[in-house]
Amino acid sequence: MASAADRAGEGEGAGAGGGRRRLHFYREMLRIRYFEEAAIRGMKEQLVLGAIHPSIGQEAVAVGVCANLENTDIVLSTHRGHGHTLAKGAQLQPMMRELFGKEGGYCRGKGGSMHIADFSVGMLGANGVVGANIVIATGAAHAIRLRRSREIVACFFGDGATNRGPFLEGLNWASIHGLAILFVCENNGFAATTRTTALSAGEGPSARARSLGIETMDVDGNDVVEVDKVAARAVAEIRAGGGPRFLHVRTYRLTGHTAADAAAYRAQTEVDERLKDEPIGRLRAQLLQQEGITEAVLEEVARSIREAVDAAYADARDAPYPPASAAFDDVQDVGDPRQEAY
Ligand SMILES: Cc1ncc(C[n+]2csc(CCOP(=O)(O)OP(=O)(O)O)c2C)c(N)n1
Ligand SMILES: [Mg+2]
């Protein structure tokens, strides 16, 4: 299958922001936006029963980073993982079925939003345990080192996760061993319902990474072209054997923490202000003004993605639940765990 990098059009030059590459970014970000809007609709219609953490407003981070990854490169994600998973190349239909708890979902409908994985595109998993993916990603990068292969790992996590122990453990290990891993700290300003600045001592995520000997880069995460450019540089340095890099990406979560959170802890005026800066609108303006792409072309792109998402929604709604007899399949590895433990 074509990698995210191939689909982004390597001919344009990674990070170059050519017209074709920008149009691809537009398509990819809309695909994530419409998928998540559909997921929220599914929750309101009581078809999606688990928690949904939308990444609406943060799409440029997933798309700009994954555009620089090969299919065989590895991604580890968070509880807010739909965007990362789709940007790495996962398909709408099994994603939607998973959210609906249906047969044919990526985890046969048993995982839901926070446990989606698709090994065929290098997506090792979302993760509901904040920060836990950082040590798993570091382990994956160490495995790559031991196998002497060429893949790299990209690990997305939030600003809140930098206050957890696995952040220190993972970054320290990656730095000591010079592992091929891109840490992507997606700073949306909040950890659940609390402003992260109220929870975090010191000078922020990048200062912590630098204290562990890791080179950091800071980027406006609502500008997909900038994210692409900076990620391209970081990925090239990692592939050249430079060891881990740390991307600090500033963005904003436009929805509540979950789809059920009305976000009463912040003023609507703040959200309205940040809406002016949201990544899809920004790229749309660039495409119209700088690339000479017409409204009609953008409308057609939006229409076709909406159609694909609506089709995935209808498919998931109508698909069967897995049979009760499958309840214990895939829950635990085969064998006797007590025997294996001793
Ligand atoms: C170990 C652990 N502690 C607490 C929680 C509850 N929780 C879920 S998301 C979240 C906030 C995470 O903030 P951040 O890492 O910034 O990610 P964001 O939600 O902003 O994407 C918390 C505290 C959890 N899931 N896991
Ligand atoms: Mg956050």
Counting beta carbons within 10 angstroms of the beta carbon of residue 189, is it exposed (0 to 12), middle (13 to 18) or buried (19 or more)? middle
- Compute the distance from residue 158 Cα to the ligand 2 centre, in Å: 4
- Compute the distance from residue 319 Cα to the ligand 1 centre, in Å: 31
Are 311 and 96 in contact by the 8 Å Cβ rule? The answer is no
Nearest atom, ligand 1, residue 192 CA: 11
Alpha carbon distance 285, 125 (integer Å): 34
Sequence-distant (≥ 6) Cβ neighbours of residue 8 within 8 angstroms: 14, 21, 24, 25, 67, 68, 228
Q: Which residues surround ligand 2, an ion (CB under 5 A)?
A: 158-160, 188, 190
- Is 114 near ligand 1, meaning CB less than 6 Å away? no
The domain spans of the chain are: 4-317
- Compute the distance from residue 195 Cα to the ligand 2 centre, in Å: 8
Topology (CATH) of 4-317: Rossmann fold (3.40.50)
- Is 249 near ligand 1, meaning CB less than 6 Å away? no
- Is 160 near ligand 1, meaning CB less than 6 Å away? yes
Q: For the chain, what is the total number of helices (H) and then of strands (E)?
A: 13, 8
The average confidence (pLDDT) of the chain is: 94
Task: Tell me what pLDDT residue 7 has.
Answer: 73
Alpha carbon distance 138, 133 (integer Å): 8
Task: Tell me what pLDDT residue 11 has.
Answer: 43
| pTM of the predicted structure, to 2 decimals | 0.95
Q: Is the alpha carbon torsion for 79, 265, 164, 224 positive or negative? A: positive
Other CB atoms within a 10 A radius of the CB of residue 177 amount to 15
Nearest atom, ligand 1, residue 130 CA: 26
Task: Tell me what pLDDT residue 335 has.
Answer: 67
Q: Which ligand is nearest the CA of 188, by number?
A: 2
- Is 159 near ligand 1, meaning CB less than 6 Å away? yes
Q: Which amino acid is at 64?
A: G
- Is 189 near ligand 1, meaning CB less than 6 Å away? no
| Mutate which of 58, 79, 127, 130 for ligand 1 pocket (most atoms within 8 A of beta carbon) | 130
- Compute the distance from residue 35 Cα to the ligand 1 centre, in Å: 22
Residue 15: pLDDT over 70: no
Residue 84: pLDDT over 50: yes
- Compute the distance from residue 18 Cα to the ligand 2 centre, in Å: 31
Task: Tell me what pLDDT residue 249 has.
Answer: 98
- Compute the distance from residue 218 Cα to the ligand 2 centre, in Å: 16
Nearest atom, ligand 1, residue 196 CA: 16
- Is 188 near ligand 1, meaning CB less than 6 Å away? yes
Ligand 1, atom 9: closest residue by C-alpha? 192
CB-based contacts of 171-174 (< 8 A; 24+ apart in sequence):
171/134, 171/138, 171/208, 171/209, 171/212, 171/214, 171/244, 171/246, 172/212, 173/135, 173/138, 173/142, 174/138, 174/141, 174/214, 174/243, 174/244
Residue 218: pLDDT over 80: yes
36-63 pLDDT, tens per residue? 999 999 999 999 998 999 999 999 999 9
Task: Tell me what pLDDT residue 199 has.
Answer: 95
Residue 32: φ, ψ to 5°: -70, -45
Beta strands per DSSP E along the chain: 74-76, 123-125, 153-158, 181-187, 190-191, 194-195, 215-220, 245-250
Task: Tell me what pLDDT residue 28 has.
Answer: 98
Nearest atom, ligand 1, residue 55 CA: 21
Mutual orientation of helices 92-99 and 295-318 as an angle, nearest 10°?
50
pLDDT band at residue 331 using 50, 70 and 90 as cut-offs: confident
What 3 state SS string does 68-128 have?
Answer: CCCCCCEEECCCCCHHHHHHCCCCHHHHHHHHCCCCCCCCCCCCCHHHCCEHHHCEEECCC
Strands 215-220 and 245-250: parallel
Helix, strand or coil for residue 331?
Answer: coil
Residue 1: pLDDT over 80: no
41-61 CB burial, b ≥16 within 10 A, e <16: ebbeeebbebbbbbbbbbbbb
Task: Tell me what pLDDT residue 9 has.
Answer: 63
Task: Tell me what pLDDT residue 6 has.
Answer: 74
Residue 187: pLDDT over 60: yes
Q: Which ligand is nearest the CA of 192, by number?
A: 1
Beta-bridge partners for 194: 191
- Is 130 near ligand 1, meaning CB less than 6 Å away? yes
- Compute the distance from residue 323 Cα to the ligand 2 centre, in Å: 37
Task: Tell me what pLDDT residue 340 has.
Answer: 56
